[in-house]
């Protein structure tokens, strides 16, 4: 079973499972624990029901430590597995997995917000974002896709089908600060078929003055005003 005590000394495995280094995990853990304690009244169970026994009484929980609670929800957010599969990784039934996901998601989101690590969702707010300007507004834009269940509706199937991934996907636009490696902006979720440049045009992102913007060929023709845009060139040694 996955446990933080087994992963914390395996930096590559921890990064693959959560997207965080050990140092980043520990920093988030402090705030996460505070938010969890504030959201869990002493007289209520995890499910929000009146407590019949003192805290610690009754059957022992599987996710006993705060580290394992944080690891559980970060693995869910990073890999988005089926609840049954996530439960198998942590020794939980599907039902208990569902309860813990709904219990911990608001807590980790509150912790990230308190640490000012939550990306902007409004493109117009990017220009004044601390995340965008940290270390200088040297930004990179890209589209990300994740597989989703094949829709039943035929029209929705066509909209969700990504020719690039050869699968049905959901797509988001992500803007990242190259200095801090932090996500500055996250767009609303769109069908996988939608082109990256169209997503960027619809986002109407307002960039900091003097910002630089890295982009790939999916953003050909996307040239925001007042921004120095650059695109990596393919090495002539790479065969097409």
Ranges under pLDDT 70 in the chain: 42-49, 51-60, 234-240
Question: Which residues share a beta bridge with 39?
Answer: none
pTM: 0.73
Same domain, 127 and 110: no
Output the DSSP codes for the chain.
---HHHHTT-HHHHHHHHS--HHHHHHHHHHHHHHHHHHS-TTB-TTSPBPSS-TT-SSPPSS-SHHHHHHHHHHHHHH---HHHHHHHHT--HHHHHHHHHHHHHHHHHHHHHTT-PPBSSGGGGGG-HHHHTTS-EEEEEEEEEE-PPPSSHHHHHHHEETTTTEEEEEEEEEEETTT--EEEEPPPEETTS-HHHHHHHHTPPPPTT-EEE--GGGTT---TT-EEE-PPPPTTS--
Q: What is the pLDDT of residue 60?
A: 63
Q: Is residue 24 part of a domain?
A: yes
Looking at residue 14, its pLDDT comes to 94
Kindly state whether residues 127 and 226 are assigned to the same domain: yes
Q: Are residues 141 and 52 in the same domain?
A: no
Domain boundary among 80, 114, 148: 114
Q: Do 136 and 221 sit in the same domain of this protein? A: yes
109 and 127, same domain (yes or no): no
The pLDDT value recorded for residue 149 is: 82
Structural domain contains residue 59: yes
Enclosing domain of residue 13: 4-114
235 falls within a domain: no
Q: What is the pLDDT of residue 92?
A: 95
pLDDT of residue 172: 92
The number of distinct structural domains making up the chain is 2
Residue 186 belongs to a domain: yes
pLDDT of residue 48: 64
Q: Are residues 18 and 101 in the same domain?
A: yes
Q: Using CA atoms, how far apart are residues 181 and 15, in angstroms rounded to an integer?
A: 14
Structure tokens at 147: 């597989």
Separation of alpha carbons 201 and 224, rounded Å: 9
End residue of a domain, out of 114, 146, 163: 114
Q: Is residue 137 included in any domain, yes or no?
A: yes
Are 203 and 106 within one domain?
no
Q: So what's the pLDDT on residue 5?
A: 92
| Domain termination residue (choose one: 114, 137, 171) | 114
Q: What does the alpha-carbon distance between residue 6 and residue 44 come to, in Å, rounded to a whole number?
A: 31
């Amino acid at each position: 079973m996955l446990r933080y005590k087994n992963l914390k000394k395996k930096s590559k495995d921890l990064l693959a499972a959560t997207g965080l280094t050990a140092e980043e995990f520990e920093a988030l853990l402090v705030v996460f624990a505070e938010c969890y304690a504030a959201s869990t009244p002493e007289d209520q169970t995890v499910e929000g029901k009146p407590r019949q026994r003192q805290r610690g009484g009754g059957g022992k929980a599987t996710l006993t430590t705060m580290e394992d609670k944080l690891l559980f929800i970060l693995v869910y957010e990073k890999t988005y597995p089926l609840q049954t599969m996530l439960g198998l990784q942590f020794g939980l039934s599907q039902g208990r997995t569902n309860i813990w996901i709904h219990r911990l998601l608001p807590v980790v989101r509150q912790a990230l917000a308190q640490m000012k690590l939550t990306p902007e969702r409004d493109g117009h707010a990017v220009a004044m974002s601390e995340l965008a300007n940290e270390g200088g507004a040297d930004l990179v834009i890209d589209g990300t896709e994740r597989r989703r269940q094949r829709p039943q509706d035929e029209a929705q199937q066509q909209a969700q089908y990504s020719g690039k991934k050869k699968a049905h996907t959901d797509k988001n636009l992500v803007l990242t600060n190259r200095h801090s490696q932090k996500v500055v902006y996250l767009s609303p979720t769109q069908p996988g078929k939608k082109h990256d440049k169209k997503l960027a045009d619809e986002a109407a992102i307002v960039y900091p003055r003097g910002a630089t913007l890295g982009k790939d060929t999916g953003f050909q023709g996307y040239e925001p005003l007042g921004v120095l845009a650059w695109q990596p060139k393919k090495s002539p040694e790479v065969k097409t």
